[in-house]
Amino acid sequence: MSNQTTLPSQYRYTHMIYTRALLDGMKPNLQINGRGKYMKMKKLVTFAIIGLAAGISIASISYSVNGTTSNKLNFVNTKEKVISIPIIKEKVLNANNNYKFLEGTVIRTNNQNNRKSKTSLWIAQPNNFKVQFTPNIDKPDEFIESVNNGTEVQTKNKDKSIQKSKPMKEAPAPKVDSDDVVIPNYNGTFLPIGDVNELLHPELVTQTVFREGDITVTEGLSFLDRKVTKVSVTLVQSKLGTSAEYLIDNETGIFLKIVRYDQDKVLDTYEFIDIKFPEKLKDNAFALFNN
């Protein structure tokens, strides 16, 4: 069974939604629900602001970036202050260009509803993906899949129905009225399911959470046998917690782990439990479900 949905136009114009959100001091949720309709924009980061847990090496160097008021969008930090941090300037802003292929699994632990979800993904920059999203790992047979072969996106729901849409294409940065915004690197690897776009497209957070409070950078860490840098943010204005921690892969700039806190309580954790950057993927890795 195959049916068209409202997804194509929303998917195509995500850059317009995001730009509007930037100017409003907000961030869109680049995510669709199981029925293929885009969810409404939510204030700042509505999911996965993931942090730090076990398995991080001890030898490290930390330094702080004090907040400087940015009046244009009511952020604590200016764009210039945030992108002056070396790992952000050199890696995060261009994460899509720092690898060709990615294969990995992300686990989200939501302590607010005591549920874990799993997202398995295969990425080929700049225009291909396959993703399998299991909303509740206690029900492994109930999952949603989506694939982008470069010319079409198909999303297979739990009931096996298939939704079709046009993929997001590489696009020039849209014009904005302010030079105090970070424009995302639009391409075909924005995922319609899985809740992991902020890990794969960390420049989104450069415009939002990284501008919301004092930043502490800790270098010389490791996670999943990869060298990482931790960026911790004290959230001065956010209503979605008091702080957040990000483990940034030193080679690619993508987020390997994010943790969001309310004081000492962990609210949400997103983390890769395995990740690799192979030289290639299987020839049929991005085959459509229904040709």
| Model pLDDT for residues 30-44, shown as the tens digit of each residue | 443 333 333 332 332
Predicted confidence (pLDDT) per residue in 214-229, tens digit? 999 999 999 999 999 9
Q: Which helix (H) or strand (E) holds 23?
A: helix 14-23
Q: Which of 6-10, 47-51, 190-194, 244-248 is the most confident on average?
A: 244-248
Q: What is the overall mean pLDDT for the chain?
A: 78
- Which residues on neighbouring strands pair with residue 229, listed in sequence order? 248
Residue 77 lies in a domain: yes
**How buried is 283 (Cβ within 10 angstroms: 0-12 exposed, 13-18 middle, 19+ buried)?**
exposed
Please name the residues in contact with 9: beta carbons below 8 A apart, sequence gap of 6 or more. Answer: none
Residue 140 lies in a domain: yes
- 15 pLDDT above the threshold of 50: no
Q: How far apart are CA 207 and CA 82, in angstroms?
A: 9
Return the pLDDT at 182.
79
Residue 18 lies in a domain: yes
For residue 134, the one-letter residue type is T
Quick one: DSSP state of residue 210? G
Q: How far apart are CA 181 and CA 79, in angstroms?
A: 7
Residue 168 lies in a domain: yes
Dihedral (Cα; 235, 177, 95, 163), 10-degree rounding: 100
- 140 pLDDT above the threshold of 80: yes
Band the pLDDT of 74: cuts 50, 70, 90.
Answer: low
Tokens 């799993």 sit on residue: 118
Quick one: average pLDDT of 199-228?
94
Domain of 256? 2-276
Return the pLDDT at 168.
82
Residue 284 lies in a domain: no
Residue 289 lies in a domain: no
Residue 257 lies in a domain: yes
- 25 pLDDT above the threshold of 70: no
Question: Residue 113 sits in a domain of what CATH number?
Answer: 2.50.20.10
| 8 Å CB contact between 274 and 104 | yes
Q: Which helix (H) or strand (E) holds 132?
A: strand 128-134
> What is the number of domains present in the chain?
1
Give the chain's end-to-end CA distance (angstroms, integer). Answer: 12
Residue 172 lies in a domain: yes
